[in-house]
Amino acid sequence: PAETRDAAQARVRSLPAPVTDVARLCVCDLLVAQCDVNCCCDPDCSAEDFSLFTTCSVPVVIGDRRLCSQKAAVYSLDVEANPPERIFKLIDQVNPSIFCIHATNYKQALYLKSPEIPTPENFDQLLDKFGGATFSAEPDSWNLDTDVQNPPEANETSRYEYGVPVQTEDAFLRLPSPVVSSWCSDANPAGFLVNQATKCIRSVSVEKCDSIQALSMLFYINSSILASVFQVNITVQSIAVQSLNGMRTLLSRSEVLRLPMVLDELCINAVLGVNYHITHTDTGEIIEAAAAFVLGAISKEELSIEQSFEISFTQENTQPVPLSGNPGYVVGLPVRAGFQPQGYPFPAAFSACFTCSGPSSQTLSSMDIYEIHLSNKHSQLTILQSTSTQDCLAAQGARAPVLFGYNMISGCKLRITAAVKCQPLAQTLLDVLKGQSFPEYVASFGNSQAQDVLDWVPITQLHISEQMTSHTLQSSCQIPVSLGIEVKWTKYGSLVNPQARIVNVTATITTTTLKQLPSGRERIIPITSSVVFTDISSPAEPSYKAWPTINIKLPFDFFYPFV
Amino acid sequence: NNSSQLSSLPLQILLYVNGIYYIFYFLATLAMIIYKSQVFSYPDEFLAPDLAVLFLMAILEVPRLYLGFKGNLTEAEAPLGLSLGLTVGSVVLCVYLLLWQTYVLWADVLLNAVLLSAYGLESGLKVTAIAAFVS
């Protein structure tokens, strides 16, 4: 038993000896115990198999061709014979060149190197050499390069370059994100100037909620960011508390640190979302860092919560405005819209920017009385977003941004009973269709500045009423049932690089008469909203440059003495 | 043979031709080693001895030929004897380059064989010349 195990280990330690006899080598013999087609050197093939071959895929098996004299196995098919048969010849191949290798005293010269078999003794050394993601054929030169690179890196924390992880005192600024699965991994560093938004799931338990680090605010702000010669502390910009039914309230005093604690079988002050805002100079130095938190409560039944993280970088003294194209709109980017400020009709005094106050991307309850400033950088045209419940009145204000070039349609169902009053219903439906703040102007180019009034296209509002029967009176109740936004755009600019430009936006509200229902009955009316993009570009007219004119004129005193 | 002149004319001719041939041999062998190092796998630990042997042989060749010329022309047996000794060293190095180089090409075999035969013939003539001078 012990001897056989040693013997077995000794056998494993050495690889089988390589075959060097050309008569026994066959490169095309891939199938074991079966004849490979057109492989004349395959020992598994019989004479009948050879008679079916058309050609020999491997005509010569030879060692290194540069040797002066060596044995070669030559395989060929004799197609003249009937049936065709294979001819095998072992010949002495002579290399006539004067630089042929007569002899070598270096064993590995003409053969591939046998790899080292790992043994308990050399395993660590082999792991060092080959265990990484890459390894070099010359390990010595590899070490030399890393030594040279290391010293300059130590001084480079002052200036960050795009994509470089933001360094903090202990390691990197963490932006937990899902890796492989949806569970949060805390090892994802935030890259400089890389705006990211991630959502991941963290497993929690109410009993241990004050000991789970990732639920506490401290975890996200305790280490300070290393920047130039000093360290930048992460300040708390704002704290919003989210209740169990999804309503968020912004706290007025956000300096106080709120740590998670267990209260009445709930874990309160657990971090549900962090939004980092990093301010940097134009030379890449970080000067400010702030974090806006969303804290929430975790009930006993919940075993996991979804956390969302976002980081955005702003250059100091600038207001970042996301462009939807430069200059023409890019398909898939949101259509930019805005309002004109009050008191517009004095164009000479017009200098304020269009207020950027489209609905924010957070979900708002329709009863929400506080405004959320957390991500108020979008000014977009939005349409109703269909929800799973399909109930218009419980829609909760979910809106989807209108993306340029993407026709969208969405809707919900309205249940009408006899007790419903018409006028409030019409107003609610108008809110549902148009949203809290329906913009008045749409940018015609993707990079239109708010100061350029002429670059903005007004939204034309149309009302169409579906008259079901001719005797319906104007005074009877009309409720809006659909909103159709038609965006007409054209190609603008050069023929080879046309830019999309919005020319006309029309929002059409279609209303229908609400017939009074007999009591006890109810009706379901579908409400739809849609966005259609229409290309109204006129066919391009190529314009050519004028032929160059040859302009030869002699100077007036060219023939001086004679003229 | 003119009895008043003991210097060996064939030896002189051979030494002269040997000098010219050796220059060609040195340059050709050096060029071939460079060629081999580019085309074949030639690690440094095998390249170094081959180059060392070649340069050692070149260093030995100069005094060897000079002493041979001097000894033959002045009809002195001491320089000629020294030259013979150095020839033995050169022969050993030549045999190394012929048999124990890392890569022995066919051109190597030819060059070294010619050089060895020249050395052999030279040694025979030197011995005859020494015998003539001594007696």
Please list the residues that pair with A177 across neighbouring strands: A185
C-alpha span between B12 and B70 (Å, rounded): 10
C-alpha span between B54 and B48 (Å, rounded): 10
Residue of A nearest to B96 (CA): A105
Q: Where are the alpha helices (DSSP H) in A105-241?
A: 123-130, 139-154, 218-221
E-strand stretches of A46-143: 60-62, 69-78, 85-94, 101-104
Give the contacts of A48 (CB within 8 A, at least 6 positions apart): A83
Cα A299 to Cα A140, A302, A441, A447, B43, distances in angstroms: 58, 6, 44, 46, 70
Collect all residues of chain A within an 8 Å Cβ-Cβ radius of residue B46. Answer: 106
C-alpha span between A70 and A61 (Å, rounded): 11
Please indicate if any CB of chain A lies within 8 Å of the CB of B105: yes
Instruction: State residue A138's pLDDT score.
Output: 56
Collect all residues of chain A within an 8 Å Cβ-Cβ radius of residue B106. Answer: 68, 97-100, 102
What pTM did the predictor assign? Answer: 0.41
* Amino acid at position A469, single letter: T
Residue of B nearest to A112 (CA): B41
C-alpha span between A461 and A463 (Å, rounded): 7
Instruction: State residue A238's pLDDT score.
Output: 86
A271-306 residue pLDDT tens: 899 999 988 888 888 888 888 989 888 888 888 889
DSSP state of B121: H
3-state class of B11 per DSSP? helix
Place of tokens 């399909």: A390
The beta-carbon neighbor of A105 closest among B101, B106, B107 is B101
Give the contacts of A174 (CB within 8 A, at least 6 positions apart): A186, A187, A188, A189, A190, A220
C-alpha span between A100 and A319 (Å, rounded): 74
Residue of B nearest to A101 (CA): B105
Instruction: State residue A490's pLDDT score.
Output: 93
Range A123-128, long-range pairs (CB < 8 A, 24+ positions): none
The tokens describing A272, both together, are 């549900």
Q: Where are the domains of chain B?
A: 9-134
- CA-closest candidate to residue A323, choices A443, A496, A218, A405: A443
C-alpha span between A89 and A141 (Å, rounded): 48
C-alpha span between B64 and B84 (Å, rounded): 8
A25-52 residue pLDDT tens: 888 888 888 898 888 888 888 888 888 8
Residue of A nearest to B98 (CA): A103
Stretches where chain A sits below pLDDT 70 are 1-14, 134, 136-158, 254, 341-379, 395-396, 467-475, 563
Collect all residues of chain A within an 8 Å Cβ-Cβ radius of residue B108. Answer: 102
Indicate if the alpha-carbon torsion angle A75, A76, A77, A80 is positive or negative. Answer: negative
The beta-carbon neighbor of B105 closest among A99, A105, A109 is A99
- CA-closest candidate to residue A530, choices A430, A427, A428, A406: A406
CB A443 within 8 A of CB A321: no
Helix (H) / strand (E) containing B61: helix B44-74
B52-72 residue pLDDT tens: 999 999 999 999 999 999 999
- CA-closest candidate to residue A78, choices A68, A86, A70: A86
CB contact under 8 A, A109 and B104: no
State the pLDDT confidence band at B33, using cuts at 50, 70 and 90. very high
Instruction: State residue B29's pLDDT score.
Output: 96
Whether pLDDT at B83 is above 90: yes
Query: What is the rounded average pLDDT of the residues B31-43?
Result: 91
Please indicate if any CB of chain A lies within 8 Å of the CB of B41: yes
- CA-closest candidate to residue A514, choices A476, A563, A483: A476
CB contact under 8 A, B102 and A68: no
Q: Give the number of other CB atoms < 10 A from CB of residue A215.
A: 24
3-state class of A86 per DSSP? strand
Phi, psi of A291 (to 5 degrees): -130, 130
Q: Give the number of other CB atoms < 10 A from CB of residue A27.
A: 10
Instruction: State residue A489's pLDDT score.
Output: 93
